[in-house]
A and B are shown apart, each in its own frame.
Chain A
């Protein structure tokens, strides 16, 4: 059977999400390597940034359109992706491992009776076979695997595919398929969205400034908020401080919180419990500030400062300010 690649493009409020450019690029590069077709699939209402796909290699995009598809519905979206893939014989499906992607992709995989590889950090071709790698146990180990089914569904971990602009552009042709209301299975649907108060989410941030018990109390987290704001980052937290009620769970980094891989992770007053390290050790650059020189966090850090975090943070902020000005 010849290969056909389908890339799911996620939109929110009519904008294709940046995270979807990663499976788009991956789909494009795989299609070149195994010499096969690649198509992007968009589900939604009006889309305003179709042009942004030209940088990422997709020449063919199909847009399944209906005003009721503006918001996510797992039942409606999964049926549409399944019908599309099944009818046209797509056998490699790529999603981003976002909140939506990790909800939708397994449903589609079950409908297709496909093999499923979630949260992959690598997807390559070896002797014509797809080889994937994914972190397990929140990154304490890595699994190298293959899917032995005819149809294969993968989600890619955000930030695992480089989106550097290499100057390559394609013409993206979009075919719009209007979907009738009768084709929509809306048993489950998003009816509203509550935005977190203007804060950057740790799951999406390029820089994370995280605090642990060494911050001494919730009243000192303003130091991290100021630093995060200065360098365009998000505030994260260890499990200990979330369990103590100092910070909301949405900020928790670690095995029972979020697994993150930002380009810069600054761990402040975090000793580095194994379940915390699991959630952040794939960050590109790690800075640790802790008073205990033997704290395990220093073993995964690129740079460390041993000392009182409450004294160091204001100084660090001032130094950074000098550089940024």
Chain B
């Protein structure tokens, strides 16, 4: 099976975000970058699919040279090959999807796994757009997955429960936490990754349709009234919730 996994190289979720002096981008100084957490579930699902049905797992990422570090981690986990498409990073989801589509269409995948969203811009859009550009069906936010009779059956998380979705193959799946437990790279895997290829390509991102006017930090206008744990404080809290905040 030809298995493709997309990968995004993003700031660690423990990172404090600072805005650059141009007020239009994030200041990368002092920020540590990691594999997008949801992409780890996608990589793991790709590896498990290969273990079950055979084939290759190819990692495709749109990013800058820094993303190679995350691609190497995916190769160390067991993926076979990496492709890095380099281009401007301050672009919209559709531009990223188009960049990925140019390479992924050549790979003729049987299945593509993506994270359900990247934890930087949080649009949850690239995978579904990629599916449309490749004319494939997609199932997003998947927590369980089964291949049977050339079809896919997935459980997808929605408000108040799980939708059971059936889809033809090839298809694009986006991984939600809970789909699997991602493995750690073994020493052997890390050594093996050193000789695995990372192909590079470039993409002209000039068709970007989103222009950032300004980034800002959210204003915190909280009252921050802190009480001790005396009984009187608890009654006062309930009164405030009722009469001042009017939320109960």
Contacts and interface: CB of A to CB of B under 8 A. Distances in A.
A154 to B, nearest CB: 11
Interface in B157-196: 157-168, 171, 176-178
28 contacts: A98-B158, A99-B159, A115-B94, A116-B210, A136-B121, A136-B122, A137-B17, A137-B26, A141-B17, A141-B19, A147-B210, A187-B137, A187-B167, A187-B168, A189-B167, A192-B164, A193-B164, A249-B178, A255-B119, A273-B14, A274-B13, A274-B16, A281-B220, A300-B220, A302-B225, A304-B224, A305-B229, A316-B238
B240 to A, nearest CB: 6
A91 B150 CA distance: 38
Given A264-B241, A305-B226, A204 B137 contact: no
A254 B212 CA distance: 25
A299 B123 CA distance: 28
Nearest to B125: A106
A165 interface: no
Interface stretch (B67-75, B103-111, B126-134): B126-134
B247 interface: yes
B6 interface: no
Interface string A80-109: 000000000000000000111011011101
B223 interface: yes
Contacts of A142: 215-218
B138 interface: yes
Interface residues of A, number: 96
Given A74-B137, A102-B124, A149-B209, 7 more contacts: A107-B138, A118-B122, A141-B26, A147-B210, A187-B167, A194-B161, A256-B38
A220 B159 CA distance: 26
A305 B234 contact: yes
B211 interface: yes
Interface in B30-48: 37-38
Given A147-B209, A249-B177, A264 B238 contact: no
Contacts of B15: 274
A67 B93 CA distance: 33
Contacts of A71: 163
Q: Which 10 A-B pairs have the closest CB atoms?
A: A307-B229, A115-B209, A188-B137, A106-B125, A99-B158, A110-B132, A188-B167, A192-B164, A118-B123, A304-B226
B216 A188 contact: no
Given A144-B216, A204-B159, A312-B234, A301 B222 contact: yes
A300 B219 CA distance: 10
Contacts of A106: 93, 123-126, 128-129, 132
B205 interface: no
B127 to A, nearest CB: 8
A141 B161 contact: no
Given A142-B218, A191-B165, A285-B245, A74 B159 contact: no
Interface stretch (A30-38, A47-55, A195-203): A195-203
A148 interface: yes
A66 to B, nearest CB: 18
B213 interface: yes
A119 B122 contact: yes
Nearest to B137: A188
A302 B223 contact: yes
A250 B161 CA distance: 9
